[in-house]
Structure 1
């Protein structure tokens, strides 16, 4: 008795599946299906390079460590830096730690050096390729603009252009003296 019931259930299932597949095949062509599959593949491949907002990390990281000036968020070169200081993560103010590489894209800021009274152009480079450092989080927003002004927006993971797109920490490289004009 149970074999007859199972056979009838399977036959009903087969008919329903066949009907659904035939109806789908009649309404959707091969080109349309291939187009949809292609869009999903391209979209999935581009997803890892999209920028994302790191500003929520400020809540989880805690206060910066005390130590030398370059490991303190109040250091003048960090006026527009948003991220973990590489000087606390095995690197220096302007060099990534071993195993990390500088981002290919960057944001810039203008910071005032109180020691000489000059303004300097500073390039902030994310160091990429290692997991997030998690030490000495700074969130300087001097001169930051909304996200649609990408070159001067600091809440983006700038490692998006690198092959290892994991963010580790941020360095500040002096580009030059700002023009007084």
Structure 2
């Protein structure tokens, strides 16, 4: 018997002597319990109740105009013209959980901000304030930054596109 086989045999016999199925299932149960209880900790509940706080930079301009600073990478109908706002969907629609992102420069403070573009889904297309800017857009082989895809696929409403919002996520620097 060669040396590696002998060492492997000794380690396997030692593991078999010092462990049992009962202890394995006991440890497995403990880890499963910890894994299911961890999301219920008070820290997690406090964060969920508060929710993430969106950064609201100083703004100027008309959110119903395609030249509004947040719309540098938008493609579609502006929700600000369709009963919503620049950052919220109109009633009766739901935001797509899948988004594309862009980086736009705010003319008020001169800083660049990361913008999340969300499609609002569930109604027929709004048809007002069509805007198709694609500053810094990449080809569709990098879909997280492409504005040419239908992002309503992840909603309960299906693929009925209504309009698009632009939510400021934070400064790009």
Q: TM-score w.r.t. structure 2 length?
A: 0.64
Partners in 1 of 2:149 and 2:169 — Cα distance? 20
Match of 2:111 in 1: 118
Q: How does 1:87-166 map to 2 (within 5 A)?
A: 87-164=80-157, 165-166=159-160
Q: How does 1:70-85 map to 2 (within 5 A)?
A: 70-85=63-78
* Cα offset, 1:163, TM superposition: 2.1
Secondary structure, aligned partner of 2:152: helix
Partners in 1 of 2:141 and 2:151 — Cα distance? 14
Q: How does 1:15-30 map to 2 (within 5 A)?
A: none
Partners in 1 of 2:154 and 2:117 — Cα distance? 15
Q: Which residue, out of 158, 170, 179, partners 2:164?
A: 170
Secondary structure, aligned partner of 1:87: helix
* Cα offset, 1:109, TM superposition: 0.2
Secondary structure, aligned partner of 2:63: helix
* Cα offset, 1:80, TM superposition: 0.2
- Equivalenced residues, count: 112
Q: 4+ residue stretches of structure 1 with deviation over 4 A?
A: none
In structure 2, runs of 5+ residues without a counterpart are: 1-60
Q: TM-score w.r.t. structure 1 length?
A: 0.61
